[in-house]
Amino acid sequence: MATKPRATADTDQVRITPLQPTFGAEIFNVDLGQALPPAVFQKIRSAFIQYKVIFFRDQDITSENQVAFARLFGDIQDYPVFRSSENPAMQGLQSKYAKADIWHTDLAWLERPPFAAVLRSRVIPDVGGDTMWADGERAWQNLPGDLKSQIDELSLVHDSSRIGAHYLDGEERERRLARVRELRKQYPLIAHPIAPTHPETGRRYLFVNPALAESIVGMSQAESKALLDRLHLEYLRPENTLRFRWSQNDIAMWDERRTLHYGVYDYGDKERVMERVIIAGTDIPCR
């Protein structure tokens, strides 16, 4: 049996192991069930800003612990679509109702899209059920110069009514889609810059969303689709992605703006239960 990690005031004991040079890292010797000393939290936060996706293994903690950890980074974002009645700050994701097998970022259709998400694995299938992430910062850096110039000042319209359009069957699907149609009335179409600048790093990144993209401002649907198809292809090159194999009670935290994620649905009717907390964001700076 794995030894449960313990938080410590000695930041030298907190070990950060990159999965790629600039994208993804595992953090060891931290117990998220305990209060984190300020120096330890700052080391975690710095790793998050640097690597954009961070992972903690074997965190047998409560939902309250998970929410408390997320609150260290900012206010909790209410999730308007599928709320948990037991804990409003927590979104339960069950395999039967919450497949996520399309590249996306959450709540991009808000005026202020989220800062980050914290996801914990409660029940996982014996095989399959991985999650993938893609790095929007690296994707921008690797774009051809002419493409960077073309999208430099463009904005993308994000549409809440596209949520879950390809998920579920029968009455459950209709019930969810009816809820989404109501959301469209509450959250009209919103446009965000395609290539914003991160306020802390000063680096630009792609902010596109294959699941929720409606159109590019000022373009026809045909022109918009052609350009978005090219951007999505560039974004999702294998060298921009990583894949994480879950164990029970693992935690992933990712940047909701500088990354896309994809839940690999390869586990059939096996059970997969996750719990997610979303951290609210601020305005997106264009430059």
Instruction: Single out the catalytic residue among 176, 198, 261, 272.
Output: 261
Instruction: Single out the catalytic residue among 31, 106, 159, 255.
Output: 106
31 is catalytic: no
Beta strands 91-94; 273-279: pairing state: antiparallel
Burial 130-166 (b: 16+ CB within 10 A, else e): ebbbbbbbbbbeebeeeeeeebeebbbbbbbbbbbee
Contact call for residues 141 and 276 (beta carbons, < 8 A):
no
CA angle 146, 254, 105 (to 5 degrees): 60
Query: Count of alpha carbons within 13 Å of 80, Cβ hemisphere only?
Result: 20
Residues 6+ away with beta carbon under 8 Å from 102: 166, 210, 211, 262
Contact call for residues 70 and 147 (beta carbons, < 8 A):
no
The two tokens of residue 189 are 């179409």
Instruction: Single out the catalytic residue among 120, 258, 272, 276.
Output: 276
Distance CA 144, CA 231 (A): 11
List, as one string, the DSSP characters of 152-198.
Answer: TT-EEEE-GGGTTTTS--HHHHHHHHHHHHHHHHHS--EEEESS-B-
Candidates 129, 195, 124, 188; CA nearest to 161 is 188
104 is catalytic: yes
Instruction: Single out the catalytic residue among 31, 104, 135, 257.
Output: 104
The two tokens of residue 31 are 């117990």
101 is catalytic: no
126 is catalytic: no
Positions annotated as catalytic residues are: 104, 106, 261, 276
